[in-house]
């Protein structure tokens, strides 16, 4: 990871900024006595930028008289190996001789400097903010580390320095809860669908043994909830673990038929809690029904990866007409995610089952992946050039950066001005571009707008 070092005189808010950037990952900070006494290291994550942050505050509580000398020593040591220095001043207090001293030796260093005017919430910091231009580091970034304001501006100031030093795609990904996910871990897969679509038969066929009950009457009682098994990829011979969630098995008792319709939705809701990838099973003899669309949009709203499979293909009439009809109905009913994977399977004959599982693994990988900020913004510049954002009232909306802030599902943050005026059609243009051109096809993608000051 690239290294960013926080420099500044005592009390300007270095540690507050450090804690803000590290967040709940604070536990990773190494405070072994003697080793990092005078510097703290943390893993920072700022709107899709990852870096190591170094706080130099540790030596401050010692003797006042020798402060400038020791500060210089510490700072010089810390600057070794740093990619960027965040030079923090207190916008409320204004510049002090010590700030000017630090500025002098930062100018002698080759490390790029981003000037941060902290405590700038409200108007109280304006004076220090204007004064700080005199330090010769260009535009200061007004910030309130305490209140978390100005982080988008900080991101923008850091991006040019850290962009090409970002880690490339890794198989380990972190979701919004900071939990790590391993793509070699079992694929959490759920099969949902209306009663009688053939869910149990499909699960049995996948497991190739009669571990679950199936029968001609809908809603038969089952107890199994999750089944762990290993799928062998017939193409490569590779063995991959799967945890299959049998939602119908969560149902305690067989119910009367009209209630079963509602139960299909309830089952799907449970499945969503467990699964990474959800397969919505349709019945070829019935096509796509209203209930199916309802389940599909619920899965997508919850940000899960979704595959549609048409079962009972062995008895399908007018197969290609059926397929195209379902495809069209899906694209119309779920316009936000055109091009969902649509597969034809037969639980009875086993046709299409390996393709289905393969598609589920591929989809999980796309759903978990992170695009490096540099690649993302190369695509972004190109997308804006091809189709510039509109100019309501004759003034063009300015879009500045985009960053991937999370995975599982992928979430992107767009920075710019007057974003409240950005038409949804333009947002859709960007989301479609992300999905089609950056390898997120068929994955629900979220876009958040963040107006930068
Ligand atoms: P569930 O309620 O979704 O779990 O559905 P079941 O697995 O109990 O299957 C309902 C009925 O559809 C049973 O009679 C199955 O034998 C039948 N069925 C399931 N899959 C297929 C298939 O691929 N082809 C045909 N022809 N029938 C199937």
Report which secondary-structure segment, H or E, holds 3.
strand 3-7
The answer to whether the annotation marks 59 as part of a ligand binding site is yes
How far is 26 from 146, CA to CA, in rounded Å?
Answer: 16
- In whole angstroms, what is the distance from residue 199 CA to residue 189 CA? 12
Distance 199 CA to ligand 1 centre (A): 7
Which atom belonging to ligand 1 lies closest to the Cα atom of 204?
7
Q: Which of 36-45, 315-324, 354-363 is the least confident region?
A: 36-45
Highest mean pLDDT among 124-128, 142-146, 163-167, 337-341: 142-146
Q: Is the CB of 248 under 6 A from ligand 1?
A: yes
Residue 176 confidence (pLDDT) above 50:
no
* The pLDDT value given to residue 181: 59
pLDDT at position 244, please? 85
How many C-beta atoms surround the C-beta of residue 117 within 10 A?
27
Is 193 part of any known ligand binding site?
Answer: yes
Q: At what angle do helices 373-386 and 424-437 cross, to 10 degrees?
A: 130
Full-model pTM: 0.65
In this structure, the residue with its CA closest to atom 24 of ligand 1 is 312
At residue 25 the predicted structure's pLDDT band, cuts being 50, 70 and 90, is very low
pLDDT at 50: 82
Query: Does residue 134 line the site of ligand 1, with CB under 6 A?
Result: no
Peptide bond into 409 cis (omega under 30): yes
Atom of ligand 1 nearest to the CA of 347: 23
pLDDT at residue 246 in the model: 67
Mutation choice for ligand 1 from 201, 217, 314, CB with most ligand atoms inside 8 A:
201
Question: Phi and psi dihedrals of 51, rounded to 5?
Answer: -160, 165
Query: Which residues, other chains included, contact 447 with Cβ-Cβ below 8 Å and sequence gap of 6+?
Result: 411, 412, 413, 414, 427, 430, 431, 434
Section 80-98 average pLDDT = 92
Assign 57 a pLDDT band (cuts: 50, 70, 90). Answer: low
Does residue 247 have its Cβ closer than 6 Å to ligand 1?
no
Per-residue pLDDT reduced to its tens digit, 231-252: 989 999 998 988 887 665 444 3
What are the structural domains, with CATH classification, of the chain? Answer: 3-165 (3.40.50.300), 180-368 (3.40.50.300), 373-451 (3.30.300.20)
Q: Single out the residue of 434, 429, 390 nearest to residue 412, CA to CA.
A: 434
Q: State the Cα–Cα distance between residues 358 and 382, nearest whole angstrom.
A: 32
Q: Is 138 annotated as a binding residue?
A: no
Mean of pLDDT values over 36-49: 72
Answer yes or no: is 360 a known binding residue. no
State whether the beta carbon of 348 lies less than 6 angstroms from ligand 1.
yes
pLDDT tens by residue, 191-225? 988 888 998 889 888 887 544 444 444 443 344 46
> Smallest Cα–Cα separation from 227: which of 215, 210, 211?
211
Atom 9 of ligand 1, residue of closest alpha carbon:
198
pLDDT at 33 over 60: no
Distance 284 CA to ligand 1 centre (A): 11
Q: Quick one: which atom of ligand 1 is closest to the CA of 315? A: 26
Q: Has 421 been labeled as part of a binding site?
A: no
Q: Is the pLDDT of residue 125 over 60?
A: yes
Distance 197 CA to ligand 1 centre (A): 6
Measured from the Cβ of residue 318, the count of other Cβ atoms closer than 10 Å reads 9
Sheet holding 226-232, edge to edge: 226-232, 239-246, 187-193, 277-283, 305-311, 342-344
Dihedral angle over CA of 248, 250, 254, 255, nearest 10: -90
Report CA-CA distances (Å) from 334 to 201, 257, 293, 305, 320.
27, 27, 8, 14, 21
Q: Which atom of ligand 1 is nearest to the CA of 345?
A: 23
Q: ipTM value of the model?
A: 0.94
Residue 167 pLDDT level (bands cut at 50, 70, 90) = low
pLDDT at 330 (0 to 100): 92
Q: What is the mean pLDDT of the chain?
A: 81
The CB density around residue 304, as the number of other CB atoms within 10 Å, is 24
């Amino acid at each position: 990871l690239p290294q960013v070092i926080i420099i500044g005189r005592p009390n300007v808010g270095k540690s507050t900024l450090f804690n803000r950037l590290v967040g709940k990952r604070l536990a990773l900070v190494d405070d072994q006595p003697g080793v990092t006494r005078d510097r703290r290291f943390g893993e920072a994550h700022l709107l899709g930028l990852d870096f190591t942050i170094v706080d130099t505050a540790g030596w401050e509580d010692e003797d006042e008289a020798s402060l400038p000398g020791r500060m210089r020593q510490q700072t010089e040591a810390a600057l070794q190996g740093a990619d960027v220095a965040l030079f923090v001043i207190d916008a409320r207090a204004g510049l002090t001789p010590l700030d000017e001293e630090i500025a002098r030796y930062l100018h002698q260093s080759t490390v790029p400097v981003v000037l941060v005017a902290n405590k700038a919430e409200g108007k109280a910091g304006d004076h220090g903010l204007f004064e700080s231009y005199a330090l010769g580091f260009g535009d200061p970034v007004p910030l309130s580390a305490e209140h978390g304001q100005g982080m988008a501006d900080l991101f923008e100031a850091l991006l040019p320095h850290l962009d090409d030093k970002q880690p490339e795609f890794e198989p380990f990904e972190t979701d919004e809860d900071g939990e790590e996910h391993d793509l070699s871990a079992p694929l959490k897969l759920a099969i949902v669908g209306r009663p009688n679509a053939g869910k149990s038969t499909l699960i049995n066929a996948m497991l190739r043994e009669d571990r679950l009950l199936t029968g001609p009457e809908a809603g038969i009682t089952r107890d199994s909830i999750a089944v762990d098994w290993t799928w062998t990829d017939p193409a490569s011979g590779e063995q991959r673990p799967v945890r299959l969630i049998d939602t119908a098995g969560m149902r305690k008792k067989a119910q009367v038929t009209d209630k079963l319709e509602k139960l299909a939705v309830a089952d799907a809701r449970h499945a969503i809690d467990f699964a990474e990838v959800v397969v919505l099973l349709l019945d070829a003899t019935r096509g796509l029904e209203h209930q199916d669309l309802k389940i599909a949009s619920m899965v997508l709203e919850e940000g899960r990866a979704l595959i549609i499979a048409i079962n009972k293909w062995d008895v399908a009439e007018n197969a290609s007409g059926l397929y195209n009809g379902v495809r069209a109905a899906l694209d119309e009913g779920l316009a936000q995610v055109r091009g969902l994977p649509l597969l034809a399977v037969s639980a009875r004959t086993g046709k299409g089952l390996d393709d289905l599982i393969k598609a589920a693994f591929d989809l999980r990988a796309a759903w978990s992946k992170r695009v490096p900020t540099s690649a993302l913004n190369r695509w972004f510049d190109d997308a804006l050039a091809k189709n510039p954002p509109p100019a309501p009232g004759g003034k063009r909306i300015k879009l500045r950066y985009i960053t991937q802030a999370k995975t599982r599902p992928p979430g992107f943050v767009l920075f710019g001005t007057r974003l409240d005026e950005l038409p949804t059609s333009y947002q859709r243009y960007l989301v479609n571009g992300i999905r089609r051109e950056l390898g997120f096809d068929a994955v629900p993608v979220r876009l958040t707008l963040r107006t930068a000051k």
